[in-house]
Amino acid sequence: MTQAPTPSAETVRRLARSLLTDSGTGAASGTGPDVRPAVAGDEPATWWVGTRHVLRLALDREASVRRRRELRLRDLVRPHVPVALPTCVAHGEWAPGLLAVLDTGLAGATAEEHAVSALGEADLAGLLTGLREVPPRQAETLGVPRVSPRSLEALRRAAEAAAERLAEADEFDPARLGQLTPPAALQLAAQPGTAVLVHHALTGRHLVVGADGRVRG
C-alpha cells in the first residue's frame, strides 16, 4: 500500500495552482490560490481552493480507486437527481498512485451546519428517488459493489426509537409511524432479484444545504 505523505497547505497550494492552470480555469497570481482544510484533522483529505473549488485527495490506493469510480458515477447519476453534483475541473496524481480531484464547489454548508427545512426534505426525497432510477447494471459496470439489502424491520425499530426522541422534543408525531407495522415492513421488503442504487453513507456532512434549508447538492 502506498503511504501517503502528510498533505501540507503548501503542497495543496502548488497542486491546486497546477490543476487550475492545466484546466484552463486560470490560477491565482503570486503565491497561488488561498487554500484551507474543509474539515479539521491531522491529515485533511478535502481542501477549499479559493471560493469556487474543492480539492479532494486520496490518501491510499483504495481511495484512489473509489475517487476514479466516483467521477464516472456522477455522470451516470446526474440526469436522474434534482440536486447539483460537483463537476470535476481537473484531476491528477498528487503522490505516486494517489489521485487528486479538483471539483467545482457547491454553494451552501453541510447539513451539520444548516438545518434541513421541509422543502429541503422534499429535495432529499427527490435525491433518493432519483438514485433508484439509475440503471443498476450500468452502475455495476463502473465497479459499484452489489450488497445484500438491509432489514426493513430493523430500520423500522430504529425509526420507532428515533420517533420517540423526536416526540419528546415536540418535533414529530410518532403516530405517523404506526402505519409501518411489522407485517407492512415485511411486505415492503426488497424482493429477490431486484437491485437499486443507494447511498450507504448519506450523512449530514455529505449534503450541501443552503441558508434557506434547501438541499443544494
How does pLDDT run across 49-107, given as a tens digit for each residue? Answer: 988 899 999 999 999 999 999 999 999 999 999 989 999 999 999 989 999 999 998 88
pLDDT tops 80 at residue 32 = no
Domain shared by 19 and 120, yes or no: no
Domain shared by 209 and 130, yes or no: yes
Q: How many structural domains comprise the chain?
A: 3
Domain shared by 34 and 73, yes or no: yes
pLDDT tops 60 at residue 27 = no
What was the pLDDT predicted at 40?
Answer: 67
Does any domain span residue 182? yes
DSSP string over the chain = ---PPP--HHHHHHHHHHHHHHHTS---STT---EEESS-SSS--EEEETTTEEEEE-SSHHHHHHHHHHHHHHHHHGGG-SS----EEEEEEEETTEEEEEEE--SSEETTTS---HHHHHHHHHHHHHHHHS-HHHHHHTTPPP-PPPPHHHHHHHHHHHHHHHHHTTS--GGGGGGS-HHHHHHHSPPTT------TT--GGG-EE-TTS-B--
Domain shared by 64 and 122, yes or no: no
